[in-house]
Structure formats: C-alpha cells, structure tokens
Structure 1
Amino acid sequence: MELLEIRTTTREELIDITSRIQTLVTENNWEDGILLLYCPHTTGAVTVNEGADPDVARDITVNMRKLVPHTGDYLHMEGNSDAHIKSSMFGCEQMLIVEDGRIQLGTWQSIYFCEFDGARNRKLWIKFMG
C-alpha cells in the first residue's frame, strides 16, 4: 500500500490529485490492474469529476455548502456535522482501471481529494491490485 499525504488549505475544497496518482503508478511500474483510492478520514472524500474547467470544482464546493450548510439542526458536538454528511455523500473510495501504466479516465475527468473540514494534513491510501 502507498500513502499520499495531502495538505489542505481551506475548510472546503476539491484538490486535483490526478498527476500525483499517475506519478505513483509510473514510479511503481504498475501496468495492468485496479487502483483503489481510500480516504481514511470521516470528513474527507475522494471523487472523479471534470478537471478541464476549474469552475466545476468551485461550483461543486459552493453548492454543497448550500445543500448541507455548516450550521443547521445538528446534534454532533464537534461542530462539523456538515462535513460528515458531505463525506458520506461523496464516499471514501474510488476504484480506477490502470492499463499499460496509465490511469484510465475520461477525456475531461480528474481525481479529486475532497476536504470538508480543513485546513488539515490528510492521507489517502492507495492499493494497486494487478
């Protein structure tokens, strides 16, 4: 298993980690198989979405704030219930195909680490199954 360390800088953000993941694939000579990305944090997530236009990540973040606001009818005493809900909505894992040493993504797709309770130092666990 590989570990990717990610430093987030704001409370909520989507960080494009596509090139960092591809670099791991290349450096480890992973050719054909499945790549599992797993976020071990209850207020973070990992997703795949459009990476060609940075406004998409911004739109997702802004509108998630509207769907699940920071303050609301929450009982969780840590004050980050919204972050737990957002994390559950996105999910903690992504499974990707690797073929000929390249992550198989659609033309416009990128891999994002989703921060919902930052800024923090985060980890992403990466397992290749060839």
Structure 2
Amino acid sequence: MLKKTNVKTTKRDEMIDITSIVRKTIEEEGIRDGLVVVYSAHTTAGITINENADPDVKHDMLMRLDEVYPWEHPKYRHAEGNSASHLKTSTVGPSQTILIADGKMILGTWQGIYFCEFDGPRNRTVYIKTMEG
C-alpha cells in the first residue's frame, strides 16, 4: 500500500524525525516481514537515516552541509537561487529503504528516519510504500 503524508517545515534547512509516522504506517497495514520505502518527491528535500538521540547530530550535519554547499556562491547559475538546496538533496538522496521483521523496522538503537528540508519553509509530501514478503 502507498501512503501519502504531509510534512510542514518551518526553516530553510531542518531535519524532521518522521520515524513515528513510518512506524505507525507499518502497524496500520499489519506488515510482519518485508520492506518499507520512504520517498520525498522533491528536488530540494531528501530522506536520510541517522542518530536520533542527540540533537547536536542534526545541527552538525546541517552546519557541515551548509559549509560544503553555501547558500550563495558566485558561480551558481540556477535562476531560482537555490542551487545549494539541490546539491544537498542530491547528496542526502530522495529515499530510504528499511527492512521490516516481526512487525518492526530494523533500525539501530540510535537510528531515526529524517525528512531533510533544504529550501523551506514549505508544505512537503512524503510517500511511504510498504511491501510484505
């Protein structure tokens, strides 16, 4: 089944923990063993898995991405002025695939699933596709 969910972002760059949304989808669909794919259909927002215990990790990741891909650069040519957000999204990627066993996602102790906004604030769409098997 495919679920479409909305994510409202409040900053230009932020990481929003969506693990509970994905977990709830798996529970609602009764998936015992299989896969779940979490996908962002945006060119300026991605999906990643990383530590969800220490908020400094999100800060450090966003800080470093901003250093590598500064918002303004004299050689950027994209007319919309958001080239950095496209570069960040390509680096992070648009999706993650997570294994499901015994009705639970196989994530490490400190791992969470994040929606990564790089050109906000906006109203975004995340697709969650579960597959049994």
TM range (shorter): over 0.9
What is the CA distance between 1:100 and its match in structure 2?
1.2
Q: In the TM superposition, what whole-angstrom CA distance separates every residue of 1:1-40 from its partner, at most 9, and x where no partner exists? A: 1012100000000101111110111111111101111110
Partner of 2:83: 81
Q: How is 1:83-102 mapped onto 2 (pairs within 5 angstroms)?
A: 83-102=85-104
Question: CA offsets, 1:74-124, max 9 Å, x none?
Answer: 000001000000000000010000111111100110000000000000011
Letter of the 1:59 counterpart: D
Residue of structure 1 equivalent to 2:7: 6
Runs of 5+ unmatched residues, structure 1: none
AA of the residue aligned to 1:2: K
Count of residue pairs the alignment pairs up = 130
Matches within 5 A, 1:19-98: 19-72=20-73, 73-98=75-100
Residue 122 (structure 1) aligned with residue 124 (structure 2): yes
Percent identical: 45
Amino acid at match of 2:51: E
Whole-angstrom distance in 2 between the partners of 1:126 and 1:20: 9
Superposition RMSD in Å: 0.7
TM-score, normalised with respect to structure 2: 0.95
Helix, strand or coil for the counterpart of 2:62? helix
Amino acid in the other structure paired with 2:39: Y
4+ residue runs over 2 A deviation = none
